[in-house]
Amino acid sequence: MTKTPHSWDPERYLTYADERGRPFVDLVGRIPSTAPATVVDLGCGPGNLTALLAERWPGARVTGVDSSPEMVARARATVPGIDVEVGDLRDWRGSADVLVSNATLQWLPDHLDLLPALVGAVTPGGWLAFQVPGNFGEPSHALRHDLAAEPAYAAHTAGVAVPGSHDPVVYLDALTALGCRVDAWETTYLHLLTGDDPVFTWVSGTGARPTLQALPDDLRPAFEAEFRARLAAAYPVRDDGTVVLPFRRIFVVAQVPARAQAAR
């Protein structure tokens, strides 16, 4: 059965924007480029983080690309000074001195196969930098997977988009083989969340959203109620009222060889 593509809600996504933005800041902080002329953010979302690229490199032309019309509309309305366009990362054809992709590649199961094209889009001596979640064994994902596989929901959730990524060494090996100089690492953040059902609020804006949207209206409330309950048990409220969400992230900063641009 063909699934209707899911859509994104910028407002929902921007809940816990500071926590979501911290890995982006850490990633960009490790890019040593000093004065790039062109900077591209593939998977720019609502543009709030793309704006940081313009602050980091004020002399650069900064462009954001995202497949979600909702996200692009939000970026155009709220982030001045950057060009934003609707486009699929897999179809993008351009070039950049710095090419950034933050929390996007995990939605493309074949993203390792895309690395040669991404390297080829970077000007010689330039930089490719990306970050992907690496927490797919955590309860926030396992509980959704198990619940979605139950008989009441399985027919509706089979084949929905689910994110996935690789360990840092896999990216290091793939990009080194392309001639890049690679810095790859991982960090596990301990996010202190507040609010009602904060982990559900977090995942319903990202990893669980395709599953939730795939459910018919008469089944979604029961699924959400059970998912909330299971998440609350897995991520209990602490005495100070916060909930700890451990979140592992994988980072890669790769310099493309200066001698020649990789083949597209």
User: E strands within the chain?
Assistant: 38-42, 61-66, 83-86, 96-102, 122-133, 181-193, 243-255
What pLDDT, on the 0 to 100 scale, is given for residue 106?
Answer: 95
Whether the predicted pLDDT of 147 surpasses 50: yes
Ordered domains of the chain (ranges, CATH): 10-255 (3.40.50.150)
The full DSSP string for 198-246 is HHHHHHHTTTTHHHHHHS-TTTHHHHHHHHHHHHHHHSPPPTTS-EEEE
Q: Please report the pLDDT score of residue 16 as a whole number.
A: 64
CA distance 8 to 70: 7
Q: What is the pLDDT of residue 33?
A: 96
> Strands 38-42 and 96-102: what pairing?
parallel
Amino acid at 165: S
Q: pLDDT tens digits, residue range 99-118? A: 999 999 999 999 999 999 99
- In this structure, how many other beta carbons lie within 10 angstroms of the beta carbon of residue 40? 26
Q: Tell me how far apart the alpha carbons of residues 20 and 14 are, in angstroms, rounded to a whole number.
A: 8
Nearest to 51 by CA among 14, 92, 95: 14
Which two three-digit tokens encode residue 5? 């593509």
pLDDT for 4 beyond 50? no
Report how far residue 159's alpha carbon sits from residue 259's, in angstroms, rounded to the nearest whole number. 43
Per-residue pLDDT band for 157 (boundaries 50, 70, 90) equals very high
192-246: pLDDT as tens digits: 999 999 999 999 888 788 899 899 999 999 999 999 999 999 999 999 999 999 9
CA 21, CA 232: separation in Å to the nearest integer? 24
Residues with Cβ within 8 Å of 141's Cβ and at least 6 positions away in sequence, in order, are 135, 162, 203, 207
The whole-number average pLDDT for the span 137-159 is 96
Q: Which residue has the higher pLDDT, 17 or 151?
A: 151
Quickly state the pLDDT bin for 259 (edges 50, 70, 90): low
